[in-house]
A and B are shown apart, each in its own frame.
Chain A
Amino acid sequence: MRKAQPFAVTALVLVVIGIPLWLVVVTAGKSQGEALNPDLSLPQHWQLLENLRQVWTEGEVPAAFFGSLLVVVPTVALLLTFGSMAAWVLARRATRLNAVLYALGISGIVLPPAVVTVVLLLRQLGLAGSAIGMIGVYTGIYLSTVIFFVTGFVRTIPPALEEAAQIDGAGPVMVFWRIVLPLLRPVLATATILICLYVWNDVFYAFFVVGGRLDTLPLNLFRVASAGLYLNNWHLIFAYVVLMSLPLVVVLAVAQRKIISGITGGAVK
């Protein structure tokens, strides 16, 4: 059984992961006629670059990439700062009020956000369709996750370091910024990976909040694909998928060890 394991693993990877990814790459390299009915055959004539160039302009990839960054970066920054500030106090001050606040704070992990009425609210606030509205909605949705992970982590850190700084006369802002935040680095890395994964790939909430008014990579993929399926442009759909997934593949290749320990770090101890 031990000897068969490497063969089983190789076959499984080739079939389960290899075939779908192979289909993407060969179809993205075909002409429209050849890609009408996507199959696993090699293209008679590779035109991957032409297809990529076409979706680059038709799918407005630069605008979508910029739109995605415009939403993801501030969301992560807000979540990490505000989330860990709240988690630190919630973990260190065990009052009855804080127990209630903590329960409220992590309720969003399980409760689904109200996607329809949030649109109405954003209209009333004058934030409908704006990047700020989108950032606010994502931050509201994922704060619970950050508060949950960070509070659990703070409780494992002995308070002695903070106390030492307090005796030396440091105020709470100083203690948080100089002592606590650096210690939180592992759990903040986990949170960052998870949030980026969710927000970068999200299309559902983006539909409701900014659909049609701000380009993001998944929203534009949906637009390209909706038009493409109607016109049978499978080569363009998969060219877009290649473009969209390339940054992720690069990140995975460079930082796989960090990602794996990051994802599992928060889950099972």
Chain B
Amino acid sequence: MSVTSSAVRERSPARPLPVPEPPRRNHIRRQTHPMWFLAPAFAILLVFFFLPTVFNFVYAFTDWSGFKSAINPVGFDNFAQLASDGTLLRAVRITLVYAVLVALFQNLFGFGLAVLLERDTTLNRVARIFFLVPVLMSALAVGYIFQALLKPQGSLNHLLGIDYAWLGDTTWTIVVVAVIHAWKWMGLSMLIYLAGLKTIPEDLVEAARIDGASRMKAFWSIKFPLLAPAVTFNVATALLGSMNGFDIVQATTGGGPARTTEILNIFIYRTFGQGLFAQATAMSLVLFLLVALLAFPVIRTLRGREAAL
């Protein structure tokens, strides 16, 4: 490829230089990179992504339901009702707590695994593949596996010799479910941290070691700061992924006990199933606004990263 490009570069002075003439360059671009190439992608985005989002802002303020065919505007009634019985705030709080817990555990586990499996030995390569199995598995299947493992008479209690209802505790079950979510995705975080560790030149660490830094000190003050891009990526994807989560919670607790693990998507699924479409839409709008609000810093980081690529 480098041979071809240098050949082209040698030839390029022979044709009119496009760079100093912006209008002309734009004209050339119009022919060589026509805008209709964008049409199919943006048509699909418009119909299947943006239009439903616009609908979200409309139908959240109606009485759309499965019980009658007419749809009338009702103003903020849906939100007032969701707020008055405490559902709105509780679902938002649970979703945020769940997202933060998942981001925390998934990164702790993923980072720990990456450090443990950093050297390229045969055993480490095999271990990495094993930790990748849950990433590829269906989240629903993962949920059922842990439901069985964590039953009161299940294997975990048997192994530990205790009798604890892991999935029936109104305070701690959300933490347990977040750990399961993190278990499923920790292999992905591990791979991304491993890739980050690989980009750090060995001589940097060696130089610090020669200067008398301990192994620990060299790790935390040289390697760790250089992992910043991997941390940003992992935290952002874990946060956004778990805010949009559904399968694992549905398969382990279904939102229980006493709705203490009912994240927004579980609520949306449940109310939709009951035919309360407008309420489901209102919550879907809440999720949209919640993510949009938190996404601003995330998008900025992603674009910054992309510029650095």
What is the CB-to-nearest-CB distance from A169 to chain B, in angstroms, rounded to a whole number? 12
> Is B244 interfacial (CB-CB < 8 Å)?
yes
Interface pair B195/A267, CB less than 8 Å apart: yes
A218 to B250, CA, bound (A): 13
Number of interface residues of B (CB under 8 A): 101
Of all chain A residues, the one with the shortest Cβ separation from B133 is A17
A20 to B192, CA, bound (A): 24
Interface pair B292/A111, CB less than 8 Å apart: yes
Interface pair B41/A218, CB less than 8 Å apart: no
What does DSSP make chain B's interface, helix, strand, loop or mixed?
helix
What is the CB-to-nearest-CB distance from B204 to chain A, in angstroms, rounded to a whole number? 17
Interface pair B268/A5, CB less than 8 Å apart: no
Of all chain B residues, the one with the shortest Cβ separation from A97 is B35
> Is A161 interfacial (CB-CB < 8 Å)?
yes
Q: Which residues of B contact A116 (CB under 8 A)?
A: 56, 59, 268, 272, 277, 280-281, 284
Interface pair A176/B188, CB less than 8 Å apart: no
Residues in A27-84 with C-beta less than 8 Å from chain B: 27, 37-40, 78, 81-83
Interface pair A9/B251, CB less than 8 Å apart: no
> Is B55 interfacial (CB-CB < 8 Å)?
yes
Of all chain A residues, the one with the shortest Cβ separation from B243 is A112
Q: Which residues of A contact B244 (CB under 8 A)?
A: 112
Proximity bits, A104-130, B CB within 8 Å = 1, else 0 = 111111111111111011000100000
> Is B213 interfacial (CB-CB < 8 Å)?
no
Interface pair B269/A207, CB less than 8 Å apart: yes
Given contact pairs A20-B149, A23-B148, A140-B44, A155 touches B309 in the complex (Cβ within 8 A): yes
Interface pair A208/B288, CB less than 8 Å apart: no
Q: Which residues of A contact B121 (CB under 8 A)?
A: 6
Of B32, B37, B53, B129, the residue contacting A111 (CB under 8 A) is B53
Q: Which residues of B contact A166 (CB under 8 A)?
A: 32
Of A9, A147, A152, A221, the residue contacting B141 (CB under 8 A) is A221
Q: Which residues of B contact A111 (CB under 8 A)?
A: 53, 288, 291-292, 295
Q: Which residues of A contact B12 (CB under 8 A)?
A: 163
Interface pair A23/B145, CB less than 8 Å apart: yes
Q: Which residues of A contact B269 (CB under 8 A)?
A: 204, 207
> Is B80 interfacial (CB-CB < 8 Å)?
no
Of A89, A112, A118, A201, the residue contacting B138 (CB under 8 A) is A201
What is the CB-to-nearest-CB distance from A173 to chain B, in angstroms, rounded to a whole number? 9
Interface pair B131/A164, CB less than 8 Å apart: no
Proximity bits, A130-147, B CB within 8 Å = 1, else 0 = 000000110111011001
Q: Which residues of A contact B268 (CB under 8 A)?
A: 115-116
What is the CB-to-nearest-CB distance from B150 to chain A, in angstroms, rounded to a whole number? 11
Q: Which residues of A contact B45 (CB under 8 A)?
A: 104-105, 108, 140, 143-144
A93 to B30, CA, bound (A): 8
> Is B52 interfacial (CB-CB < 8 Å)?
yes
What is the CB-to-nearest-CB distance from A171 to chain B, in angstroms, rounded to a whole number? 9
Q: Which residues of B contact A82 (CB under 8 A)?
A: 40-41, 44
A92 to B58, CA, bound (A): 37
Q: Which residues of A contact B247 (CB under 8 A)?
A: 201, 203-204, 218
Q: Which of A139, A162, A166 counts the most chain B CB atoms within 10 A? A: A139
Interface pair B281/A101, CB less than 8 Å apart: no
What does DSSP make chain A's interface, helix, strand, loop or mixed?
helix
A120 to B64, CA, bound (A): 10
Of all chain B residues, the one with the shortest Cβ separation from A91 is B33
Binding stretch for chain A, among B3-11, B83-91, B98-106, B170-178: B3-11
Interface pair B123/A136, CB less than 8 Å apart: no
> Is A260 interfacial (CB-CB < 8 Å)?
yes
Interface pair A20/B272, CB less than 8 Å apart: no
Residues in B1-47 with C-beta less than 8 Å from chain A: 1, 4-5, 8-9, 12, 15, 26, 29, 31-35, 37-38, 40-42, 44-45, 47
Interface pair B136/A252, CB less than 8 Å apart: yes
Q: Which of A208, A218, A267, A269 counts the most chain B CB atoms within 10 A? A: A267
A140 to B50, CA, bound (A): 9
What is the CB-to-nearest-CB distance from A141 to chain B, in angstroms, rounded to a whole number? 7
> Is A184 interfacial (CB-CB < 8 Å)?
no
Residues in B169-210 with C-beta less than 8 Å from chain A: 183, 188, 191-192, 194-196, 199
Given contact pairs A160-B8, A259-B132, A110 touches B298 in the complex (Cβ within 8 A): yes
> Is B222 interfacial (CB-CB < 8 Å)?
no
What is the CB-to-nearest-CB distance from A240 to chain B, in angstroms, rounded to a whole number? 8
> Is B211 interfacial (CB-CB < 8 Å)?
no
> Is B167 interfacial (CB-CB < 8 Å)?
no
Given contact pairs A114-B288, A172-B34, A13 touches B130 in the complex (Cβ within 8 A): yes
> Is B151 interfacial (CB-CB < 8 Å)?
yes
Q: Which residues of B contact A144 (CB under 8 A)?
A: 45
A141 to B41, CA, bound (A): 11
Interface pair A245/B295, CB less than 8 Å apart: no
The 5 sampled A-B contact pairs (Cβ below 8 Å) are A17-B133, A104-B45, A139-B44, A143-B49, A161-B5
- Using A161-B4, A268-B229, A269-B199 as known contacts, list a sample of 12 further A-B pairs with CB atoms less than 8 Å apart, ordered by residue number in A: A8-B116, A12-B116, A23-B148, A39-B158, A93-B35, A116-B56, A116-B272, A162-B32, A229-B147, A252-B129, A252-B136, A260-B128
List 3 tightest A-B contacts by C-beta distance, closest first: A140-B48, A117-B55, A86-B41
